Amino acid sequence: MADIVAFPLAPRPARRPQPSDPEPLWRQLLGDQLRRRRHDREETLTETAEKAGVSPQYLSEVERGLKEPSSEMIAAISGALETSLIELTSAVADELRSTTAPAPASALVSAGRMAFALAA
């Protein structure tokens, strides 16, 4: 019989966001970031939730982008993950920048020294 040899998959080029793509919600990117940081620490939902003073169910809903947590809740969860609010929000903002397509030039309207993006 012949041996089966696995070939490494060629890396897929990163898909550039398109202007027609829906913009991701802040709460979804925040949840992704929180989950990633919790996994990096190898903590369970229960362990992190206990440290933050929230229920595991609530933390799970935040991580899945189903809840819009208050700033106090975000601070409690980030503290439980031993990260600062500025680190967390900067990471979310960086991710938002990388997943959002730039607005087409036709959507920008100049008003004095300010520019406004028009939403349809």
How buried is residue 73: exposed, middle or buried, by Cβ count under 10 Å (0-12/13-18/19+)? middle
Query: Which amino acid, 37?
Result: R
Q: Domain map of the chain by residue range?
A: 26-99
For residue 117, name the pLDDT band (cuts at 50, 70, 90): low
Give the E-state strand segments of 11-120 in sequence order: 108-111, 114-117
Pick 26-99's CATH classification: 1.25.40.10, 3.40.980.10, 1.10.260.40, 3.40.50.2020: 1.10.260.40
Whether the per-residue pLDDT at 38 is higher than 90: the answer is yes
Q: List Cα–Cα distances, 23 to 28, 32, 115, in angstroms.
A: 11, 15, 19
44-103 pLDDT, tens digit each: 999 999 999 999 999 999 999 999 999 999 999 999 999 999 999 999 999 988 887 555
Predicted pLDDT at 91: 95
Number of alpha helices (DSSP H) and beta strands (DSSP E) in the chain:
5, 2
